[in-house]
Every structure is written in C-alpha cells, then in structure tokens.
Amino acid sequence: MSKRDYYEVLGVSRDVNEADLKKAYRRHAMKHHPDRNQDNEEAEDKFKEVKEAYDVLSDAQKRAAYDQFGHAGVDPSAAAGAGGFGGDPFGDIFGDVFGDIFGGGRRGGSRVQRGSDLRYNLELSLEDAVAGTSVNIRVPTLVACETCDGSGAKKGTSATTCTTCGGVGQVRMQQGFFSVQQTCPNCRGQGKTITNPCPDCHGQGRLQKHKTLSVKVPAGVDNGDRIRLAGEGEAGEQGGPGGDLYVQIQVKPHPIFRREENDLMCEMPISIGTAALGGELEVPTLGGRIKLKIPAESQSGKVFRMRGKGVKSVRGGATGDLLCRVNVETPVNLNSRQKELLREFEDSIQEAAKHHSPQSASWMDRVKFFFDDLKL
C-alpha cells in the first residue's frame, strides 16, 4: 500500500478540523468505493489508502503520533494486534460514510435507549400568563414497570445474552470482500433476550399510565413559550433515562386586551360629546382601574399610552405599556328631541365647516379638485 502523506491522501491541510476532515473522507471514500468501481483494483487500493488515512487522522492520539513521527509512529503492523488496521477494511464503511446522513452508525452490546420527549399544550388566561401561576396537569405516558424495575424480565430472572449476535446487537454478512452489518433479527439490536418476560409489562419494561404533574408557570410567558420538565417524558427502554416533557404555552384570547410583545392593546368607545369636549374615563388594566384624561377635540383612532401598565417579559427587560385606542361612537336609537338637537348642532357647525371640521373640509376640497380634473 502506498505510504503517501495522509493529509495529501485526503486533500486537506495539516490544521484541518474534525468536521472538514470527515467531509473529505466521505468524498474520497464515495469516489473510490469498490462497489462503485467494480473490477477496478486501483480504486480498491485508493479506498484502502483513504480509509487508513482517516483512521489515523480522526484519532487524536494517532494523529499526534503521526504528526511527530510520521508513518513510523502509527505502524499498521504494530497496531493490527490491538485493533488497528487489521481485519476487514470495508466492514464499517456504511457506519463511517452513511451513518451521519441517515442517522445510523455502529451499535454494539445491550443498548439502553432514552425515552421519547413529550409535548403538552397548556392553555392559560392572559392574566395567568402575565402574573404567573402553578397548574396541575395530567399526562398520559409510558412509565417504568415497577414489577420488574424496567428490565422487562420476570422478577427473580434477568435477560440473557443473545446467542445469535453474542450480545453485540448486530450481525455481519460477508459477500466476497464486501461486508455489511445489520441489526440482529433475534434481539432486534438489544444484545439480550428475555426468556421469562414480566407478566405485567409483557417484557416491554414500560407501562402506559397517567401521571399528574405540577407545572410552575413563570410570570410573563407568551404564546409559543415552552417549559421543560426534565425526565418527565416517556421512560427509557432497558432502564435507560426518561425523556423530557415540554409544556407548550397557549394564551387564550382576552375579551378586552390584545398582547403585542410586552405591550397590551385595547379599543375603547367614547361618545361624541366626550370626544369634542373632553372628559375623564375609567380604563381597565390587569392591575385594576385607572383614570384616563381625554382632551377636548380628540379624534377617533387616537392612541393613549399608559407607561408601565403592560407586561414584563419572562426573559426580562422593561415592563411594556398599555396602549388604549379610542373610537368615537355614533349614537343610535335617538328620540325625536335628540334628533332635533342634533340637526340644530349640525346646521350650526356647517356655517363654518372649515373651522369646526378641518379634516372633512380638506377632504371635500380634494374631492372637488378630483372632479374638476375629470372635466378637463
């Protein structure tokens, strides 16, 4: 086998990082893999060379020895007896090249698996989301079987090493010089088999149950925020650690307020008289009622800002404001006297429309000019 410089073989610099080293290895391994270059001995030799170079440079200790002593520091003949370059050079190509892509990789021995994460949607009122609260939730989940302590084996017994794979969890199939590893069909990759399963969980080690948890909701949470309860997800397999429970916050619509980041928004109707003459109104906040002074001649759509009456975010920062938008309400169900007074009022302001209704007068002027232009 050629003894070219390993960095040259992979086409990388001597200060290459781990991620770029792996990318270079994948690229060369895919290019020269014998399965893609059948009856091509040169490609097979190059593949072995690439594999040898990556085995050395991907191992921190071997790489340090190679950088200091060259090939003499990582002599394959000395390493073969200790699991170096001896054995099948193609055995782990799928784990090395394709494992990271498809989520596979090499597995061995009896595997314990972490339990799955769970999500729980928690609906809160705006008041509880802003002030914080504690809520009890009932969650369906897989929990470790108490009878067998999660082992799956009948009490007093234990799982035995799989006779098919010898406890490795995988079996190797040889096809000429090409070798492929696959999950053991007998133990399904666990490395152990259960001869006497637990009567309660039937060998699964887990049972479907409901559990009640207390969730402390911090003040200032908003839609989409998540609270993580570590270890409160599904129990792991073969005694593995439990997953996590993520409590997803959903804030219910409020009859008065709408939240926008840390500010609260509300719409408030006012009468024509209050808008024209001014006045003082009671405005609701999440902390109680406050007085809002409406200046005379306020127009519909005017927004009043009340500092510090909004929300303090769970992530910190300043407390938001309450933004109150006033809408002038047209009176309805008028009696004859009210209508008569309103007509007198309308007639009185029409005499000096530009003075009393500047926006209306300006708009009418623009309409007049528009029609005049159409006549040209």
Q: Give me the sign of the Cα torsion angle 147, 149, 154, 156.
A: negative
pLDDT above 70 as % of the chain: 79
Lowest-confidence segment of 207-211, 250-254, 263-267 by average pLDDT? 207-211
E strands in 241-287: 245-251, 258-260, 263-270, 279-285
Say which amino acid occupies 214: S
**Tokens 């893609």 sit on residue:** 36
Task: Give per-residue pLDDT as tens, 26-49.
Answer: 888 888 887 777 778 888 888 888
Does the pLDDT at position 337 exceed 90?
yes
Lowest-confidence segment of 6-10, 96-100, 133-137, 246-250 by average pLDDT? 96-100
**Tokens 């994460």 sit on residue:** 117
pLDDT (0 to 100) of residue 347: 80
Does the pLDDT at position 366 exceed 50?
yes
Class of CATH domain 6-102: mainly alpha
Q: Indicate the pLDDT class of residue 370, thresholds 50, 70 and 90.
A: low
CA-CA distances (angstroms) from residue 196 to 111, 146, 199? 19, 16, 9
CATH of 114-155+200-253, one of 2.40.30.160, 2.60.260.20, 1.25.40.10, 1.10.150.120: 2.60.260.20
Domain ranges for the chain, please list them: 6-102, 114-155+200-253, 258-328, 336-375
pLDDT (0 to 100) of residue 371: 56
CATH of 258-328, one of 3.40.50.720, 3.40.50.300, 1.10.150.50, 2.60.260.20: 2.60.260.20
pLDDT (0 to 100) of residue 323: 92
Highest mean pLDDT among 55-64, 198-207, 228-237, 248-257: 248-257
Assess whether the region 6-102 and the region 114-155+200-253 belong to the same CATH fold: no
How many CB atoms are located within 10 Å of the residue 308 CB?
A: 12
**Tokens 């009340």 sit on residue:** 306
| Rg, C-alpha atoms of the chain | 38
The pLDDT mean for the chain works out to 78
Determine contact, residues 327/265, Cβ cutoff 8 Å: no
